[in-house]
Amino acid sequence: MSRALCPAVCQALATSDPSDKAALADALWAAWQAGELNPAQGWHNLPAQPGRPARPALLPPAQVPQRKLGSLEGRAALLHAICHIEFNAINLALDAAARFAGLPTDYYGDWLRVAAEEAGHFRLLRTHLASLGYQYGDFPAHNSLWEMAERTQGDVLARMALVPRLLEARGLDVTPGMQARLLAAGDPEAVAILDIIFRDEVGHVAVGNRWFRHLCAERGLDPVLTFRQLLPHFKAPRQIGTLNEEARRRAGFQDAELDALRDYAANG
């Protein structure tokens, strides 16, 4: 017997304990695969904020301390920052699955799968942090990913354009460099974890691309022009750095979209 999708996802979204949230994300994906969740019924308002633990403390990005990777503490701080991104990514995927009604059935399955994969990433990083003598919450973090989710909560097209395709896609750009630094610091276990995350994140960005293009086609919009217009409209960050063009193309980006990103970084 099926149950309404939205209330079940909202329960996971509102859960504060990271282990419980990750377990609920897994359970939702299993329930979806078993045909037990119905996205056509039971829609209601989402929690104002996703549940999160009391720690880590959240600071503006510029106030998060920078630590040198050569020390154990510095390495742990970097891994903690990635762990926090993955925790946020669970919430982002759950929110995408529960906030927007009336989309094709596959849309909801895509984001529930992403939520379960992000939960797996979070667990891998949290376990590795523990092996170094640290816990999730031991370092301050920032909330930039969720702030963009709040800005785009009124339009699924903007959400698809600017969370998976802009902010989360940054992981494709920066992961190879982080892996090189971690390998130089003597942490091949962390490098192997980032291999798994990188592989999955190509797929997650591809999900954002798939549904952004679907929505543009449905509304009769040009994807490249629309993407370029959304960047300044939603005050997207302009510090995009070097793009991993090969990984982004595998995730479905067109060359014209990469050019649009560079133009925005240069000209706003």
**Residues of the chain above pLDDT 90, percent:** 84
Is residue 1 over pLDDT 70? no
Angle at 137 between CA 134 and CA 142, to 5 degrees: 125
Cα 197 to Cα 86: distance, rounded to the nearest angstrom: 9
User: Is 57 part of a structural domain of the chain?
Assistant: no
73 three-state secondary structure? helix
Region 237-252 average pLDDT:
93
- The pLDDT of 78-94, averaged and rounded, is 96
Taking residues 258-267, report their average pLDDT: 94
Q: Average pLDDT over the chain, rounded to whole?
A: 94
pLDDT in tens, 8-28: 999 999 999 999 999 999 999
* Structural domain contains residue 213: yes
Q: Is the peptide bond before 56 cis (omega within 30 degrees of 0)?
A: yes
What's the whole-model pTM score?
0.96
pLDDT score for 8: 94
| CATH code assigned at 7 | 1.20.1260.10
Please name which of 137, 147, 143 lies closest in space to residue 59, comparing C-alpha atoms: 143
Q: For residue 240, give Cα distances in angstroms to 117, 137, 185, 250.
A: 25, 27, 25, 19
pLDDT at 30 over 90: yes
Distance CA(206)–CA(252), nearest Å, equals 6
> Looking at the predicted structure, is the pLDDT value of residue 43 above 80?
no
Which domain does 124 fall in, by range? Answer: 3-41+64-267
How many domains does the chain divide into?
1
Tell me the C-alpha to C-alpha distance, in Å, between residue 105 and each of 12, 49, 102, 260: 20, 25, 9, 31
Please check whether residue 183 lies inside any domain of the structure: yes
Tens of pLDDT, residue by residue over 188-204, are 999 999 999 999 999 99
* Domain assignment of residue 245, yes or no: yes
41-55, 129-143, 157-171, 232-246, range with the lowest pLDDT: 41-55
Residue 45 pLDDT exceeds 80: no
pLDDT surpasses 90 at 159? yes
Residue 41 has pLDDT above 80, yes or no: no
Domain assignment present for 113:
yes
In a domain, 172, yes or no: yes
The arithmetic mean of pLDDT across residues 42-71, rounded, is 83
Judge whether 54 lies within some domain. Answer: no
48 belongs to a structural domain? no
